[in-house]
Amino acid sequence: MSDDAAPAVGDAVLDAAGGRAGRVTSSDGLRVRLRPLGGGAEWEAAPSGVRRLGQGELLRALVREANARSRQAGPGR
């Protein structure tokens, strides 16, 4: 992470490499495992490439994921 503090499990972070927001599920110092904020398949990121989301960023990311799920469900579902 950019502030030299390892991300803690449960932290909401931004993976700079993919531009994706996720929650930390585990970290071994070499890799950080992330899961999308709304759930889904995990992915790995380098600890140096993630940073904690601010409250406003977290809210925007959650709304973005909710909107994406709504579009996938389609009209009338």
Write out the residue range of the structural domain in which residue 30 sits: 12-73
Residue-wise pLDDT tens digits, 35-69: 999 899 999 999 999 999 999 999 999 999 899 88
pTM: 0.81
Q: Is 4 among the domain residues?
A: no
Q: Is 22 among the domain residues?
A: yes
Q: Is 64 among the domain residues?
A: yes
Q: How far is residue 4 from each of residues 34, 49, 58, measured CA to CA in Å?
A: 18, 11, 21
The count of domains in the chain is 1
Residue-wise pLDDT tens digits, 10-31: 999 999 998 999 999 999 989 9
| Strands of 43-45's sheet in order across | 43-45, 32-36, 20-27, 12-15, 50-52
| 20 φ, ψ (degrees, to nearest 5) | -105, 145
